[in-house]
Amino acid sequence: MAKRRSRMKSIQPAVTRLWFKIDNRSSTNYLDLSLACSAANRRFYRQGTTWAVAGMALHTSPEVSTAPVGSFEVSKIPDTWVAHNAHTKAKSLWMESQNQVLADSPSLAAKYRDFKIYMDANMVGSSIWDSNDPATDGSIMMPISSNGNITKKGEWEYSTIQLPNAGGSAAPVEITMHMTGNDAGQSVGLIHGYGLSRSRPQEIDPNTPTDGGWMLQVFNEADNLEEIREDVTENNDRPPYRVGGDAADPEEYYPGGKNNAASLALHSKNYITGTTVGGKTIAEGGMFGCGLIRFDWNIANQDTMYLSVDLVPGNYKGYLTEVY
């Protein structure tokens, strides 16, 4: 009997090149790929995924009298287990909090309910750009069409948690969440909070007696075992990463938290020179946690700029992603 030929799952159609228009006065802009793709495809994409980006390019005009020069940086959520676990724990707490209301009436849940966070404290409260004009400083960019018209956004609310009696308040305090850095106003740092919620490694491991005892003196003819004991037990008896928690240093030191590398991860740094061919500067692709990307611009002699972002086709409604 002939074997049945299995069919490969077809990839759904989706926009794989997104274009964005940026104002030359911008110093920082953000991109939320789940938001941008939801608007561009008229289809809901959850934020809690890691998006594959094939590549990016900044397009500046070579026709101006003075060629554009400068640089721009691309940053992302750190690719660490710390960031991943902080997101997982925060999402679990958010869902547990909401399930208190939904336990008896699950039908109350909004159809497009989703756990959505900011990248850093600077992104908190940023406007989602909704104008045909170039996206201004600090805004979250939205894709444009070939004639420069913006793709209109729908409802995209970043998640909040209600903290009862926070700071002695009589009423619950509503907070938003961002991944890296310290708490800021009514927004809390996920990595910082995650670090404070966990137990720490033992300060010294193993915890050995200070006196070597008679057994270490059995072969003590060369009188060197005491020194060997120190090498064995006292070198590398602390973790190779910073740990706080004692009376002298009660802080936490998780990378990306309040006190240790307290910012996003630098993905690429890209330079625009007077000899940039065709006004096109390439930035590397990669994997971006929660589909969140930050762009920092430092470019002179340029009016409107255009950014293209190429996404990888895959099986999540047309895109290659992984659950974060």
Q: What is the pLDDT of residues 220-235, one digit of tens each?
A: 555 566 676 677 777 8
Higher pLDDT among residues 45 and 238, named by residue? 45
129 pLDDT band (50/70/90 cuts)? Answer: very high
Lowest mean pLDDT among 17-21, 82-86, 217-221: 217-221
Lowest mean pLDDT among 60-74, 109-123, 260-274, 291-305: 60-74
CB neighbour list of residue 269: distance below 8 Å, 6 or more residues apart? 71, 72, 73, 74
In order, the DSSP letters of 215-256 are: GGGTTGGGS-HHHHHHHHHHTT-S-SS----BTTB-----TT
Whether 126 contacts 140, CB under 8 Å: yes
What confidence tens digit (pLDDT) does each residue in 167-212 have?
666 678 899 999 999 999 999 999 999 998 887 666 555 555 555 5
The residue written with tokens 């490969």 in the block is: 8
Whether 265 contacts 75, CB under 8 Å: yes
The residue written with tokens 């972002």 in the block is: 309
Q: What percent of the chain shows pLDDT beyond 90?
A: 61
Whether 161 contacts 175, CB under 8 Å: yes
Lowest mean pLDDT among 37-51, 152-166, 233-247, 288-302: 233-247
Whether 257 contacts 189, CB under 8 Å: yes
Range 294-302 average pLDDT: 91
Can you read off the two tokens belonging to residue 315? Answer: 């099986």
Torsion over CA: 149, 145, 71, 29 (sign): positive
- The rounded mean pLDDT for the chain is 86
C-alpha 2/C-alpha 4 separation (Å) is: 6
> Using the 8-state DSSP alphabet, how is residue 207 labeled?
-
Whether 254 contacts 194, CB under 8 Å: yes
Range 119-133 average pLDDT: 96
The answer, yes or no, to whether residue 217 has pLDDT greater than 50, is: no
pLDDT of residue 74: 98
Total number of residues shown for the chain: 324
Backbone angles phi, psi at 54, to 5 degrees: -75, -35
Long-range contacts of 124-129 (CB under 8 A, 24+ apart): 124/176, 124/178, 124/184, 124/185, 124/187, 126/30, 128/35, 128/153, 128/156
Torsion over CA: 38, 43, 44, 47 (sign): negative
